[in-house]
A and B are shown apart, each in its own frame.
Chain A
Amino acid sequence: MKSMKKHWYDYLWIFSLTYLILGFFNILFAWLGLICFFVPLLISLVKGTKGYCNRYCGRGQLFGLLGGRFGLSRKKDIPVWMKSNWFRYGFLAFFFVMFFLMLWNTYLVFAGAQGLKQAVTLLWTFKVPWQWAYHGTLFHAGVAQFAFGFYSVMLTSTLLGLITMVLFKPRSWCVYCPMGTMTHLICKAKNR
Chain B
Amino acid sequence: MVKNRKKRKALVQQSYCVACGCCVKVCPVGAIQIMNGITAQADPSTCIGCGKCAKECPASVIEIQEVED
Contacts and interface: CB of A to CB of B under 8 A. Distances in A.
B28 A183 contact: no
Interface in B34-52: 34, 36-38
Interface stretch (A28-36, A132-140, A163-171): A163-171
Contacts of B56: 169
Contact of A44 (B18, B27, B37, B59): B37
Interface residues of B, number: 22
B36 A171 contact: no
Interface in B1-44: 16, 18-22, 24, 27-30, 34, 36-38
Contacts of A187: 19, 36-38
Contact of A183 (B16, B24, B37): B37
A29 to B, nearest CB: 27
Given A169-B57, A184-B38, 8 more contacts: A44-B37, A50-B19, A53-B21, A54-B21, A169-B60, A175-B58, A187-B38, A188-B38
Interface of B: 16, 18-22, 24, 27-30, 34, 36-38, 55-61
Interface of A: 1-2, 4, 44, 48-51, 53-55, 60, 64, 75, 77-78, 83, 88, 168-175, 180-181, 183-184, 186-188, 190-191
